[in-house]
A and B are shown apart, each in its own frame.
Chain A
Amino acid sequence: MSILDWFTKDDARNSRYEERLNIPGDLWAQCPQCKEAIYLKTLASNFRVCDCHYHFRLSPEERIQMIFDDGSFSEIDTTLEAVDFLKFADTEPYSDRLKKAKKKTKHADAIVIGMATLHQLPVNIGVMDFGFMGGSMGSVVGEKIARIIEHAIHNKFPLIIFTSSGGARMQEGIMSLMQMAKTSAALQQLSEVSVPYISVLCDPTTGGTSASFAMLGDVNIAEPGALISFAGPRVIEQTIRQKLPKGFQRSEFLLEKGMLDRVVHRRDMRNILTTLIRLLNPHTTKKDVV
């Protein structure tokens, strides 16, 4: 019997075990890939990566803390908030979904942006939050991405965006579609002033996010095993009426197809990013390099 079986909820006998042992339920996490239970402290010390290389999804705070210099991050534009301008309601009103997501994530929307340093090198960063309505891109996400790009155009420091998003936010209708063009348009301006942009694609990066700023990095890097696609696997399977092969649309597959520069384990991310921005940024001064 694996340790995991202790925590199977629908097994009355095991739940009695748990009660008897009086183990708080939040000490372990189950790996969605290998199904092993991992002690949370072990997971944290291992960049929230399982022994089987499964990369757990991260909150923006966790990611920033893991990758950038301690305490170097200062967030900007924290006061932009979504508006339910279509009065959209599916199984739940959009305004309620927003309220819940804000409460759950403590963020105003599905991305945080700001300045940080990487081995003392200043960078402009955007970090998406899949926990906020599936990281979907509506007006606020689009606006914040455009603003951090404009910061980079202005300050000439490299731009790094970590994506984790299901795509456009349907609750904002066509306006969310236009965010794809808005963010890509801003990146065109960034290209024209030769400031490097590194896109780090994390699980999952699909739909309107992959078909806009996520795929437009000067360098595209992905975390291992991330789902990266235009159309989701289920949609494709319905269209072609076939099962897709294992690993289809995962990072390693995209690397092989030429869509990514590298697949990088989370533990190496900080160093790879540092090296790349050092090498690529034509605006880096000698002082910065020391």
Chain B
Amino acid sequence: MKALDFEKPIYDLQEKIDELRQLAASTDMDLQSDIDAIEARADMLKAQIYASLTPGQIIQIARHPNRPNTLALANLLCSDFVELKGDRCFRDDPSIVGGVGTLGQYRVMIIGHQKGSDTKEKIRRNFGMPHPEGYRKALRLMKMADKFGMPIVTFVDTPGAYPGKEAEERGQAEAIAKNLKEMTGLCVPVVSVVIGEGGSGGALGIAVSNRILMLEYAVYSVISPEGCASILFRDASRAEYAAEKLKITAQDVVDLGIADRILPEPLGGAHHDWQVVSETIAAALADELDRLSALSREAVKADRYQKFRSFGRYKDTAIQAVSALPSAKSSKSSKKKL
């Protein structure tokens, strides 16, 4: 397992413990009390480190190469998952995967980004950065789900939509925009889980949902901290600071009223135990789908619209004025001729 910078002390202690164990096995010395002591220290250190992670460190966990991915989760969640491919226009984009399966008592459509695990697969899947055809495939599958009355679950895990030449030529902006619009029109429940990186429009393109859940160490951001640092601070080395300012952690996104719920991860992150993570996700999805399935098709759609319509923080100076002058009407007082 790849150790992250800030986890090094934990892994160093673990190494010591392993050494002692080997020593104990090869000799007759009783080292158990020493091993216990170091293990206790390692547990304490773990608890300390993971309790006070900075946003910059959380991003590293969110990007961990061994984090559970969409296809793995789909197969853990559904014993009968069948992957479906292609956008019927240009090609199959392996950066976004999708398919059907049974989740508890529901037939579901699962769609998500897929980054790839080894180098070869990462390249094939373009590191989870979709081209327009990925979004078009996702929309095709969502429309199919809508037609057959299947709830949709999306797993978000992408650095962003691919900023490449062909992606632009084939209409990256249009593909994402269309998904944002058409997802609002779906009459089946849509639940999104940000499982790793929620990278900007590339993430949102499959996440206009009734409910947005986030794994504990997942992040969701308008721009990568690196991108933000190089554009706004003109200094890519200030990514750590940008990560703080942008408010991208699960807790931040819940506090801003955008994500609905945080799903706890095993100590140290989801990559330590996929089974536990999939059980947590399965239970949360069952909850959400039970609640949403009780609504009519129109109500499901309206629920999603109202959620997104409410996003935004601003002030209306007329309304403040109105509170002082109860007779004035805000809509009239705010009109002005040019």
Q: Which residues of A contact B220 (CB under 8 A)?
A: 174
| Contact present for B336 and A181 (CB under 8 Å) | no
Contact stretch, chosen from A21-29, A46-54, A80-88, A274-282: A80-88
Asked if B245 CB lies within 8 Å of chain A CBs, one says yes
| Contact present for A188 and B185 (CB under 8 Å) | yes
Chain B minimum-CB-distance residue to A91: B233
Asked if A189 CB lies within 8 Å of chain B CBs, one says yes
In the complex, chain B residues 110-135 whose Cβ is within 8 Å of any chain A Cβ: none
Q: Which residues of B contact A214 (CB under 8 A)?
A: 173, 177
> Which listed residue, A89, A170, A188, touches B184 by the CB 8 Å rule?
A188
In the complex, chain A residues 163-197 whose Cβ is within 8 Å of any chain B Cβ: 168, 170-182, 184-189, 191-192
Complex CA gap A182/B257 in Å reads: 14
Given contacts A78-B336, A85-B313, contact A259 B164 (CB under 8 A): no
Asked if B158 CB lies within 8 Å of chain A CBs, one says no
Question: Interface range on chain B: under 10, 10 to 19, 20 to 34, or 35 or more?
Answer: 35 or more
Q: Which residues of B contact A152 (CB under 8 A)?
A: none
User: Number of A interface residues, CB 8 Å?
Assistant: 73
For residue B170, give the distance in angstroms from its CB to the closest CB of chain A. 8
In the complex, chain B residues 239-289 whose Cβ is within 8 Å of any chain A Cβ: 242, 245-248, 252-253, 256, 258
In the complex, chain A residues 187-224 whose Cβ is within 8 Å of any chain B Cβ: 187-189, 191-192, 207-208, 210-216
Q: Which residues of A contact B171 (CB under 8 A)?
A: 215, 257-259
Asked if A69 CB lies within 8 Å of chain B CBs, one says no
Asked if A18 CB lies within 8 Å of chain B CBs, one says no
| Contact present for B247 and A178 (CB under 8 Å) | no
Q: Which residues of A contact B (CB under 8 A)?
A: 61, 64, 71, 73-83, 85-86, 88-91, 112, 114, 139-140, 142-143, 146, 168, 170-182, 184-189, 191-192, 207-208, 210-216, 228-231, 235-236, 239-240, 242, 244, 248-249, 257-259
| Contact present for A177 and B313 (CB under 8 Å) | no
Asked if B11 CB lies within 8 Å of chain A CBs, one says no
| Contact present for A80 and B316 (CB under 8 Å) | yes
Complex CA gap A85/B334 in Å reads: 23
| Contact present for A182 and B176 (CB under 8 Å) | no
Chain A minimum-CB-distance residue to B306: A185
Asked if B317 CB lies within 8 Å of chain A CBs, one says yes
In the complex, chain B residues 160-211 whose Cβ is within 8 Å of any chain A Cβ: 161-165, 167-174, 176-178, 180-182, 184-185, 200-201, 204-205, 208
> Which listed residue, B222, B242, B331, touches A174 by the CB 8 Å rule?
B222
Complex CA gap A89/B198 in Å reads: 22
For residue A157, give the distance in angstroms from its CB to the closest CB of chain B. 17
For residue B202, give the distance in angstroms from its CB to the closest CB of chain A. 9
Q: Which residues of A contact B321 (CB under 8 A)?
A: 79
| Contact present for B180 and A212 (CB under 8 Å) | yes
| Contact present for A185 and B184 (CB under 8 Å) | yes
Given contacts A229-B168, A230-B163, contact A178 B181 (CB under 8 A): no
| Contact present for A240 and B164 (CB under 8 Å) | yes
> Which listed residue, A173, A182, A248, touches B308 by the CB 8 Å rule?
A182
Complex CA gap A91/B184 in Å reads: 37
Q: Could you list 29 A-B pairs, sorted by A, with CB under 8 Å?
A: A79-B330, A81-B317, A139-B312, A142-B312, A168-B200, A168-B201, A170-B232, A172-B313, A173-B256, A174-B221, A174-B252, A174-B253, A175-B311, A175-B313, A177-B204, A181-B208, A182-B311, A185-B309, A188-B305, A192-B185, A210-B173, A211-B173, A230-B167, A230-B176, A231-B172, A236-B164, A249-B168, A257-B169, A259-B173
